[in-house]
Chains A and B, each alone.
Chain A
Amino acid sequence: MTTDHPRPPPRRSFFGAWGRRELKGLFWQLLVVGIAVAVIAFLWSNTVTNLSARRISTGFAFLGREAGMPIADSLLSYSPRDTYFWAFVVGVANTLRVAVIGIVLATILGTLIGISRLSANWLLSRLAAVYVEVLRDIPLLLQLLFWYVLMQALPAARLAWRPVDGVFLSNRGLILPSIPIGMPQLWVLGTALLGLAAFYVIRRALIAQQMRDGKPRKAWPIALGLIVVLPALVSVLLGVSWKIEWPELRGFNFVGGLTLAPEYFALLIALITYTSAFIAEIVRSGIQSVPRGQWDAANALGLRRSFMLRQIILPQALRVIVPPMTSQYLNLTKNSSLAVAIGYQDVVSIANTTLNQTGQAIEAIALIMAVFLTISLGISFFMNWYNARIALVER
Chain B
Amino acid sequence: MLKEPNHINEHIRVAKYLDQIFAIFGLLFCFIGLGLILVLLIDLFIDGASRLNWRFFTSFPSRFPEQAGILSAWVGSFAVMFVTAFCAIPLGVGAGIYLEEYAKKNWLTNLIEINIANLAGIPSIIYGLLALGLFVYLLDFGESILTGGLALGLLILPIGITATREAIRSVPQSIREASYACGATKWQTVRHHVLPYSMGGILTGIIIGLSRAIGETAPLITVGALTFIAFLPSPPISGEFPFISFKWLFDSFTVMPVQIFNWISRPQKGFHMNAAAACIVLMVMTLLMNGLAIYIRYRYRKRIRW
Indicate whether A and B interact.
Answer: no
Interface set of A (CB-CB < 8 Å, partner B): none
